Amino acid sequence: MGFVLAVYSSPLHGLPMIGRASLKAIVGIGLEGDRYARTAIIAQSSLPHEKICDATLIEMEAINEAHFPMIETRHNIVTVGVCLRELVGKVFRVGDVLMRGIESTPCKCKRTFDTPFKGSCGLRAEIITSGLIIGAVSRITLEEKQYALVH
């Protein structure tokens, strides 16, 4: 399907994104050290499905077309060769991590994304299995077995 070009995280909202070699994905928490990661206490409570944002993905093709700096998209995972819109509601694998696409997102950040990106090019995802996502190495594949939604 495609692969991960780069991975980013930011420890707090508003701080710059930091390029990483890899990100540790943790079920019920999110990406270790990222601003959207939930604490163990919050993870134990039941979040509404539509509020889950364990990881955010964005297509490099859209970034290139918009002539936009990759790091300014504020998404965790930059992908190549995969249409993220097609992963909404589906289970897919990023490296050894299983994820479920929650919502195709209009991209937002410091600059207005609606104009340069003309719609959806991002994806909010739920982490289903813990593991490591490695930039420039991890492949993205659709899972043959689609698991039932438990929320």
State pTM to two decimals: 0.85
Instruction: For residue 63, report the phi and psi dihedrals to the nearest 5 degrees.
Output: -60, -45
Tell me, yes or no, whether 129 lies in a domain.
yes
Does residue 105 form part of some domain? yes
Distance CA 127, CA 119 (A): 24
Helix extents (H) in the chain: 40-44, 60-66, 114-117
SS3 state of residue 149: coil
Total tally of structural domains belonging to the chain: 1
Residue 89, sorted as left (phi over 0), alpha (psi -120 to 50) or beta, turns out to be left
Q: What is the pLDDT of residue 13?
A: 84
Does residue 62 lie in a domain region?
yes
The number of beta carbons lying within 10 Å of the beta carbon of residue 67 is 7
SS3 sequence, 82-102? Answer: CCHHHHECCEEEECCEEEEEE
* pLDDT one digit per residue (tens) for the chain, 151 residues: 899 999 999 998 889 999 999 999 999 899 999 998 887 545 545 555 557 889 999 999 988 888 888 888 889 999 999 999 999 999 999 999 999 999 887 655 445 555 556 556 789 999 999 999 999 999 999 988 776 655 4
Whole-number pLDDT of residue 119: 59
For residue 67, give the CATH number of its domain: 2.40.33.20
Specify the 3-state DSSP secondary structure of 36: coil
Helix (H, G, I), strand (E, B) or coil at 41: helix
Residue 21: inside a domain: yes
What gap in Å lies between CA 36 and CA 77, rounded to an integer? 13
At which residue do the structure tokens 């930011």 appear? 10
Q: How far apart are CA 36 and CA 51, in angstroms?
A: 11
- Does residue 149 sit within a domain? no
* Predicted pLDDT at 9: 96
Which structural domain, as residue segments, surrounds residue 21? 2-142
What are phi and psi for residue 65, nearest 5 degrees? -60, -35
Confidence at residue 47, expressed as pLDDT on a 0 to 100 scale = 52
In a domain, residue 151? The reply is: no
